[in-house]
Structure 1
Amino acid sequence: MFNKILVGIDRSLISKKVFEVALSFATATGANLMLVQVLSDREEDYPQLPAYSYYPMWDDQTVRIYQQQWEEYKKQGIEILNNLAQQATEAGIATEFTQMSGSPERSICQIAYTWNADLIIVGNRGLTGIKEMVLGSVSNYVTHHAPCSVLIVRDTELLPPQSTSE
């Protein structure tokens, strides 16, 4: 059965549902949770340097402002992880978390490998077409490269309506 469940958490709305599914699985199986947040420039609120501030024209103030935004961004992510870990702990689930920067899909697979995860639970934001090609699909990559089973939580509100034939 599942003893170690790795949960991919980001700032999207689907993450709440992903966490709820993971908590349900962990409660049912007695598994430990590892909440993973990978800070990526693919997220909408990822701090960006202003368009006018190209290297080598960065001035000290621009760099300071960016560093402040970056630190606040990381801090908000840790608060999200801390709150989720606290909820899981209160439910009797042994939980740890980690935050890092980089490629979400590769980082999730690497942590799953080193942590010996039995299951990875990630969300699917419903990107299709050009957006999926440009931004990539974390869930697709993880499904094909993970060292263990993967459960993808879909946002049913983003799915196209199903046609019914009578």
Structure 2
Amino acid sequence: MFNKILVAIDRSTASRNVFETAVSLAKTTGASLMLLHVLSSEEKDNLSPSIDPKQEGDRLDSSILEAYDRHWQELERQQQQRLKVMRSLVKAATAVGVNTEFTQTLGDPGKTICNLAQTWSADLIVVGSRGLTGIKEMILGSVSNYVIHHAPCSVFIVHKTNNTSSSLSVNSDF
């Protein structure tokens, strides 16, 4: 039925439910998982410090350079934390017998999910839904809506729930 399941993971708390649903589907069908975290434009904007010392030249004083260095150190810390979370998800899925790998990339989440599903030959995409409607959905956009309409395979939407129980041992820093 499903051999390859692509799982879109973001930094929301709903990602835990997305992950657990995907692992359950993979265990049931014997599928492999590919976990994907896309650094969206909002996150990407946070990756760029507000100044570039190469362009500023001699106008920079030590306090600005120190702020710049602190900013980069924080970005590196956040990146290491994201990688730690992704590795812990792979470890948790593998521990219950599901072949799992992960990737992280910059880009538009919807397009990136659909493109990876195509190139990886996914049979199913599992993605969460924030439950946005009306004006909020129009302004903020809906990754799940984009994926539904552009995916090269079936899509399973996991709606946001308040269920916090977990049968998998996973780092809670989503």
Indicate whether 1:47 and 2:46 are aligned.
yes
Q: How many aligned positions are there?
A: 153
Among candidates 128, 147, 155, match of residue 150 of structure 1: 155
Could you list the runs of 5+ residues in structure 1 that have no partner in the other structure?
158-166
Q: Which residue of 2 aligns with 1:90?
A: 95
The answer to which structure has the higher helix fraction is 2
Can you list the C-alpha shifts for 1:93-117, whole angstroms capped at 9, x where unaligned? Answer: 1100001112111111111111000
Can you list the C-alpha shifts for 1:80-102, whole angstroms capped at 9, x where unaligned? Answer: 11011001101111100001112
Q: Which residue of 2 aligns with 1:160?
A: none
In 1: Cα distance, 2:38 partner to 2:133 partner? 22
Q: Which residue of 2 aligns with 1:77?
A: 82
Could you list the runs of 5+ residues in structure 2 that have no partner in the other structure?
163-174
In 2: Cα distance, 1:31 partner to 1:2 partner? 6
CA contact (8 A) 2:7 2:22 kept: yes
Indicate whether 1:19 and 2:19 are aligned.
yes
Can you list the C-alpha shifts for 1:26-78, whole angstroms capped at 9, x where unaligned? Answer: 000000000000112446xx83778xx57777843343233222222221111
Q: Which residue of 1 aligns with 2:3?
A: 3
CA contact (8 A) 2:14 2:161 kept: no
Q: Which residue of 2 aligns with 1:60?
A: 65
SS, match of residue 134 in structure 1? helix
In 2: Cα distance, 1:12 partner to 1:69 partner? 19
Aligned-residue RMSD, C-alpha: 2.2
Percent pairwise identity: 54
How far has the Cα of 1:155 moved from its partner? 1.1
